[in-house]
Chain A
Amino acid sequence: MSANLSAIFYLISGILFILALRGLSSPETSRQGNYFGIAGMIIAITVTFLTVGNFGLGFIYVIIFLLIGGSIGAFIAFRIPMTAMPELVAGFHSLVGLAAVFVAISAFLRPEAFNLGSIGNIKLASLIEMSIGAAVGAITFSGSVIAFLKLQGIMTGAPITFKGQHLLNLIIGISIIILIYLLCTTQVSNYFWFLILISFVVGFLLIIPIGGADMPVVISMLNSYSGWAAAGIGFTLENSALIITGALVGSSGAILSYIMCKGMNRSFFNVILGGWGATDQTVTKSTKEQKPVKSGNADDAAFLMKNASSVIIVPGYGMAVAQAQHALREMVDALKKNGVKVTYAIHPVAGRMPGHMNVLLAEANVPYDEVFELEEINNDFANCDVAYVIGANDVTNPVAKSDPQSPIYGMPVLDVEKSKSVLFVKRSLSPGYAGIDNDLFYRENTLMLFADAKKMTEEILKNLD
């Protein structure tokens, strides 16, 4: 296939990818969007085969390897529980990063296959592009691996910080630029290997100081990086499908990071440079006195909700951990049978990744038009009888509105305390991930339900009948 014709097909597949994202503007069009994406991918792969035009033994191997990877991917896709989505996405990001590194290495070892010149005499622009692609890819890989380990709980979710961390990162960052410069002027391959090596280290160092609650930002950021890595490789390969996709994914991840940061009222750099510091935690410990707390049982909760005319459910990460979404939906069904109006309120940073709660609720067959975002529903709390907080904590803390000293001051929160009564399901009075005591626990209208989220919800369901 001629280069011009294949370029046009790559453009078409790029456009199909744009349509795939466009489809996600509403659940109705989203499935069609996904098919556009698949079509774009099939076109891109087919065109590549036709352009290379090598249908010998190598082609058969390529098909075999595609099928091996494909079956692994399909197996994972069908098996993965929805609660593990953040881990899965982090894992997938790491693969994109590593694939970018491998393609860059291959292009470096055999530049003539990609029309980039010859070994030791690679075109300057291509060398810069592949260095950037490889470096960003390597950072994406090791960063995502750390994110994955933190999400899986294999590695502690607490921020890991040490003295001189920022200085070290700065030095490594500068040395990456110097290495790229040296590589471009001398074409010595060792600079390339060293560049990749320290990029792996950067990714590692970049993610370890970030705490578990900041994972939504980290995942979005790595999503963005994987896009930029792909775009870098796209420039090297002079492939418009890859350039378009890289730009789309890069900006998508950047926007999600922005939305997540805004959801926590923190600047991007504040998140990147490390989690909520240890100083904040000591402050909360000293102010923690014995304050009266009202606690209740499933019977009380069932009574309150049965007699309510409207209930708002506020789910959070704890619901995912307890796998309580199905029990929750059954409880809501029972309430609806009693004529109670039930809606769900979702904070932008609830869970461990953007949209995490929505997927879990959808999995439990909650219709998506009963689920509302913070801005849409926040005024309704004032008119609602019961707010049922299940697994959320920091995102309901009224302190964010009242106490300028609090580290979460200014963060948009759900106005849960405005509802007539608040049912707060929680295992103990321990503070949330931010390490901040929740003022809501001690309010007049709050009834604490100390139990596992799933067990409590099931108990309430029994008491509703």
Chain B
Amino acid sequence: MEIDPFIFRLSIFILSIFVGYYVVWSVTPSLHTPLMSVTNAISSVIVVGAIIAALAGSAEKIFETANIFGFLAIILAAINIFGGFLVTQRMLQMYKKKKK
């Protein structure tokens, strides 16, 4: 019997939860704010779906309803990607060790 591909995706999902669990516990508490902003940025990889949605359909009708939702999602995700990574970078630049 063949295994449903869904089961593979579910396996990836559950294993990733475990990976996330151990990785996040090892994050130092002083970096919890950058952790939140960077998770914001990476969860915006949802832009992948937005791009597919925006580009689907025939080449003549670029702005059908389904595409418009894709384009809107692209803007939202892009704000998050750029905003999230840049603000994380800005924060991390500030963390400095004592000058000896």
- Residues of A whose CB lies within 8 Å of any CB of B are 10, 13-14, 17-18, 20-22, 24-27, 30-31, 33-34, 37-38, 40-41, 44-45, 48-49, 52, 54, 56-59, 61-62, 65-74, 76-78, 80, 82, 85, 88-89, 92-93, 95-96, 98-100, 102-103, 105-107, 109-110, 112-114, 125, 219-220, 223, 226-227, 230-231, 233-253, 255-256, 259, 346, 348, 353-356, 358-359, 362-363, 365, 367-371, 373
Contact = CB atoms under 8 A, between A and B. Distances in A.
B92 A34 contact: yes
Contacts of A48: 48, 51-52
Nearest to B94: A362
Nearest to B74: A65
A213 to B, nearest CB: 17
Contacts of A62: 51, 54-55, 71, 74
12 contacts: A13-B45, A17-B45, A58-B54, A62-B74, A66-B78, A106-B56, A114-B49, A243-B13, A243-B16, A248-B16, A346-B29, A370-B98
Interface string B1-40: 0000110010011101101110111111111111111111
B95 to A, nearest CB: 4
B43 A21 contact: no
Nearest to A93: B40
Contacts of A243: 9, 12-13, 16
Contacts of B38: 20-21, 24, 33-34, 37
A230 B43 contact: yes
Contacts of A223: 36, 39-40
B27 A21 contact: yes
Interface majority SS (helix, strand, loop, mixed), chain A:
helix
In the A-B complex, the 5 residue pairs with the closest CB atoms: A69-B78, A355-B32, A113-B56, A73-B83, A73-B82
A112 B52 CA distance: 11
A82 B79 contact: no
Contacts of B39: 21, 223, 227, 248-249, 252-253
Contacts of B64: 110
Nearest to B77: A99
A52 B13 contact: no
A103 B33 contact: no
A358 B30 contact: yes
B32 to A, nearest CB: 3
Contacts of B24: 21, 248, 251-252, 255-256
B94 to A, nearest CB: 4
Given A34-B38, A103-B70, A106-B69, A244 B16 contact: yes
A412 B12 CA distance: 37
Interface string B66-95: 110111111111111111111111111111
Contacts of B26: 22, 25
Contacts of A92: 37, 40, 79-80, 83-84
Contacts of B45: 13, 17, 40-41, 44, 230, 241-242, 245
Contact of A369 (B27, B47, B88, B97): B97
B42 A31 contact: no
Contact of A27 (B14, B30, B47, B77): B30
A95 B76 contact: yes
B8 to A, nearest CB: 9
A40 B30 contact: no
A76 B75 CA distance: 14
Contacts of B50: 99, 102-103, 106
Contacts of A85: 33, 37, 87, 91
A237 B56 CA distance: 13
Nearest to A103: B49
Given A77-B90, A99-B44, 18 more contacts: A21-B39, A24-B34, A27-B92, A30-B34, A34-B92, A44-B45, A58-B62, A65-B74, A77-B83, A106-B66, A110-B56, A114-B49, A114-B53, A230-B43, A242-B49, A247-B14, A355-B33, A359-B33
B83 A110 contact: no
A359 B33 CA distance: 7
Contacts of A33: 38
A373 B46 contact: no
A20 B47 CA distance: 18
A306 B65 CA distance: 68
A109 B68 CA distance: 11
Contact of B31 (A27, A96, A245, A259): A27
Given A41-B45, A251-B21, A77 B53 contact: no
Nearest to B47: A45
B28 A25 contact: yes
A352 to B, nearest CB: 10
Contacts of B16: 14, 18, 243-244, 246-248
A79 to B, nearest CB: 10
Q: Which of A31, A33, A98, A109 has the most CB of B within 10 A?
A: A109
A239 B77 CA distance: 16
Contacts of B69: 102-103, 105-106, 109
B53 A246 contact: no
Contacts of B87: 76-77, 80, 85, 88
